[in-house]
């Protein structure tokens, strides 16, 4: 298949060898408590359906999705609800979030699950989307957007390609690699079901060239299906970004403020496809995920299939514990992952990795003045000028930063990674994006208030006018005609 180049990007130290050859192992024994935040996804938080003291079974619905963009939460094992309370969430803010605490009873007793969809390719796409929604599946590459909503894009747009993202371009992470090597048929089956739901005739599975075994396994599993192409893409960060992967495969740039779906391409992660397979073929909701536990401070790095809600501390203990206090604890990859405030937070649906990074690995140094080397400009995969955006943000000139395109930044981290002056560019951009979004919201609100006020003034004016006219007419009628 002809590939197209993507602009810029970097080649970070990948450091995948620590876990690449480690087969997925199940976390045993189960943790003493599982912590299940009601919001593990983008969109509205789920609504709790259980009370403290309730007995629940494995796979039972604990939280129901609310509104159009939301996701359900299920019990990863059987046990007793100990608490429904505000607890620290796996988020850099460290702010508490409504969380269901489950004490496993060790029985691992299944609830009654939804029946398998016998022939998904004959089923109504709607039924599949419903099943995916019921199963609480979200984008497992880290974006955590509810998958059922994304599968619905086919009703609005004409889709050509389901692009399955197996690039795994973040350093350290090998969870997708292992899933593709160990469960290729499940991934392929899930992809075929998703393509059916989307109405997309073609499936392209993109995997970076540094995963030859995953490529072989997936090619073998896909060989029976002519609609599926397994493509090896160059090793280039951020190849796994939806827009850039779409460009590499189709040669097309997704226009600003549009979706790849507008080009006929929908991107889903490989682990998501596997979860869809489980949901459709076995009625199993999303209860666990594969997490790469790695980083120089972890004694025995592993790929662990961990129940959702497992405290990070338990996961690290399972991997032999820490050899030193890490400089950073990160959820996800080191480029775009979130820093964790402590190891007490749980694994959630988007946790692709838990990394305990040493000082040497993090390689943080004091910021020096920008020397305008232009490297950040050369490598920005979005064609932006980070040095100018940062200069404007430093002067608190958010409009200037916006004019230089800060809202187009995908926060891939390439510019910060490469900056010889160790300027935390992405930190600036995230701050600016947050502020600008808030300002826009505020402005829209004010505009709305203004519009309402103006409408009211106009209405009053109209009434007054009508009154005046009526009075004038009356006066005219009363005065005798000349």
Partner 1 sequence: MRLIIDKSGPFTHAPVSVQRIMATVILALVPATLFNIGLFGWPALFLFVVTVGSCVAVEAACLMLAKRPVKPVLTDNSAILTGWLYAMSLPPWAPWWTGTLGAVFAIALAKHVFGGLGQNVFNPAMVARVALLVSFPVQMTLFVAPHPIFGAGSPGFVESLAITFGPGATDAVSAASALGYVKNELARGIPVADTLKQLSREALDPGLRHLPDLMDLAIGFKAGSLGETSALLVLLGGLFILARGIISWHIPVAVLGSLFLFGTVFHAIDPTRYAPGYFHILSGAAILGAFFIATDYVTSPVSKSGQLVFGAGIGALTWLIRTYAGYPEGMAFAVLLMNALAPIIDQHFKPRAFGRTRKGDPLPIAKGEP
Site residues (vs ligand SF4, CB under 6 A): 370-376, 380-382, 384, 386-387, 390, 409-415, 419-421, 423, 425-426, 429
Binding-site partner at residue 424 among ligand SF4, partner 1, none, CB < 5 to 8 Å by type: partner 1
| Cis peptide bond prior to 29, omega within 30° of 0 | yes
With CB under 5 to 8 Å by kind, the binding choice for 109 among ligand SF4, partner 1, none is none
Q: Would you call the peptide bond into 199 cis, given omega within 30 degrees of 0 as the criterion?
A: no
Place of tokens 């226009």: 255
Cβ(263)–Cβ(162) below 8 Å? no
In angstroms, give the least distance from the CB of 162 to partner 1.
12
In whole angstroms, what separates CA 245 from the centre of its chain?
A: 16
Q: Which does 161 bind (CB under 5 to 8 A by kind): ligand SF4, partner 1, none?
A: partner 1
- Quote the least distance from Cβ 235 to ligand SF4, whole Å: 17
Q: Judged by CB, which is closer to ligand SF4: 70, or 375?
A: 375
Sheet holding 228-233, edge to edge: 228-233, 202-208, 161-166, 265-269
**Nearest distance from residue 472's CB to partner 1, in Å?**
51
Question: Of 5 and 68, which has the nearer Cβ to partner 1?
Answer: 5
The H or E element that residue 186 is part of is helix 184-198
- Which residue, 149 or 425, has its beta carbon nearer to partner 1? 425
Question: Which residues have a Cβ under 8 Å from the Cβ of 75 and sit 6 or more positions away?
Answer: 36, 56, 57, 58, 59, 60, 62, 102, 111, 287
Contact 337, 362 (CB under 8 A): no
Smallest distance from partner 1 to CB 477, Å: 59
Distances (CA, A) of 118 to 187, 279, 283: 18, 12, 11
Please say which residue, 200 or 393, places its beta carbon nearer to ligand SF4.
Answer: 393
47 binds, among ligand SF4, partner 1, none (CB under 5 to 8 A by kind): none
161-166 and 47-48: which strand pairing? unpaired
- The nearest distance, CB 229 to partner 1, in angstroms, is 13
Among candidates 323, 353, 324, which has minimal Cα distance to 340? 353
Contacted by 357, from ligand SF4, partner 1, none: CB < 5 to 8 Å by type: partner 1
- Name which of 123 and 370 has its Cβ closer to partner 1: 370
DSSP state of 154: H
Which residues are bridge partners to 102 per DSSP? 34, 81
Q: Which does 83 bind (CB under 5 to 8 A by kind): ligand SF4, partner 1, none?
A: none
Residue 37: CB minimum distance to partner 1, A: 18
- Separation between Cα atoms, residue 281 and residue 403, nearest integer Å: 49
Measured from the CB atom, is 123 or 407 closer to ligand SF4?
A: 407
Partner whose footprint covers residue 335, from partner 1, ligand SF4, none (CB < 5 to 8 Å by kind): partner 1
**Which of 13/455 has CB closer to partner 1?**
13
Give the single-character DSSP code of 46.
Answer: P
Report the C-alpha gap between 138 and 271 in whole angstroms: 10
Q: Which residues of 293-306 are buried (b: 16+ CB within 10 A; e: fewer)?
A: bbbbbbeebbbbbb
| Number of residues assigned to the chain | 482
- Give the residue with the Cβ less far from partner 1, 403 or 460: 403
Q: Give min distance, CB of 114 to ligand SF4, in A.
A: 41
Cα–Cα distance for residue pair 76/87, rounded to 1 Å: 19
Residue 423 interacting entry, from ligand SF4, partner 1, none, C-beta within 5 to 8 Å by type: ligand SF4
Cβ atoms of 347 and 378 within 8 Å: the answer is no
Shortest Cβ 274–ligand SF4 spacing (Å): 29
Nearest approach, Cβ of residue 384 and ligand SF4 (Å): 5
- Binding partner selected for residue 95 from partner 1, ligand SF4, none, CB under the kind-specific 5 to 8 Å limit: none
Closest CA to 309 of 276, 279, 338, 349: 349
Task: Find which of ligand SF4, partner 1, none residue 111 binds, CB within 5 to 8 Å per kind.
Answer: none
Min CB(391)–partner 1 separation in Å:
10
Query: What is the distance between the alpha carbons of residues 16 and 21, in angstroms, rounded to a whole number?
Result: 9
Q: Which whole-number Å values give the CA distances from 284 to 26, 30, 150, 227, 360, in the listed order?
A: 17, 19, 20, 27, 42
Q: Which is nearer to partner 1, 140 or 330 (CB)?
A: 330
| Cβ proximity to ligand SF4, 297 vs 425, nearer residue | 425
């Amino acid at each position: 298949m002809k590939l197209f180049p993507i602009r810029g990007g970097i080649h970070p130290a990948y450091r995948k060898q620590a876990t690449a050859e480690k087969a997925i192992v199940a976390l045993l024994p189960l943790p003493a408590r599982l912590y299940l935040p009601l919001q593990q996804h983008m969109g509205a938080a789920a609504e709790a359906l259980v009370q403290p003291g309730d007995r629940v079974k494995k796979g039972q619905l604990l939280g129901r999705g609310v509104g159009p963009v939301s996701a359900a939460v299920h019990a990863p094992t059987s046990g007793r609800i100990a608490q429904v309370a505000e607890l620290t969430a796996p988020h850099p803010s460290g702010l508490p979030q409504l969380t269901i605490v489950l004490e496993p009873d060790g029985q691992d007793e299944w609830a009654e699950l939804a029946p398998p969809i016998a022939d998904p390719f004959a089923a109504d796409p709607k039924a599949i989307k419903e099943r995916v929604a019921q199963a609480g599946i979200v984008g497992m590459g880290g974006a955590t957007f509810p998958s059922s909503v994304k599968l619905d894009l086919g009703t609005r747009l004409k889709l050509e390609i389901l692009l399955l993202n197996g690039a795994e371009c973040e350093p350290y992470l090998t969870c997708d690699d292992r899933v593709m090597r160990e469960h290729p048929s499940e991934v392929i089956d899930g992809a075929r079901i998703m393509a059916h739901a989307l109405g997309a005739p073609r499936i392209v599975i993109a995997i970076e060239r540094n995963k030859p075994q995953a490529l072989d396994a997936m090619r073998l599993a896909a060989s029976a299906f002519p609609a599926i192409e397994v493509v090896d893409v160059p090793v280039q960060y951020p190849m796994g970004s939806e827009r850039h992967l779409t460009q590499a495969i189709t040669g097309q740039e997704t226009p600003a403020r549009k979706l790849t779906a507008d080009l006929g391409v929908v991107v889903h992660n490989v682990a998501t496809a596997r979860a869809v397979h489980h949901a459709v073929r076995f009625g199993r909701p999303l209860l666990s995920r594969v997490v790469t536990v790695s980083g120089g401070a972890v004694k025995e790095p592993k790929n662990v299939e961990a129940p959702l809600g497992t405290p990070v501390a338990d996961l690290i203990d399972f991997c032999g514990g820490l050899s030193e206090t890490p400089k950073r604890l990160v959820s996800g990859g080191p480029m775009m992952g979130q820093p964790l405030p402590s190891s007490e937070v749980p694994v959630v649906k988007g946790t692709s990795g838990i990394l305990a990074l040493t000082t040497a690995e993090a390689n943080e140094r004091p910021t020096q003045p920008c020397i305008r080397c232009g490297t950040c400009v050369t490598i920005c995969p979005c064609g932006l000028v980070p040095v100018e955006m940062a200069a404007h943000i430093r002067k608190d000139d958010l409009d200037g930063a916006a004019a230089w395109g800060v809202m187009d930044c995908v926060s891939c981290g390439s510019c910060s990674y490469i900056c010889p002056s160790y300027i935390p560019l992405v930190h600036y951009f995230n701050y600016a994006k947050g502020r600008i979004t808030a300002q826009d919201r505020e402005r829209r609100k004010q505009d709305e208030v203004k519009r309402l006020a103006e409408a009211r003034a106009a209405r009053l004016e109209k009434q007054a006018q009508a009154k005046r006219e009526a009075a004038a007419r009356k006066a005219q009628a009363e005065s005798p005609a000349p």
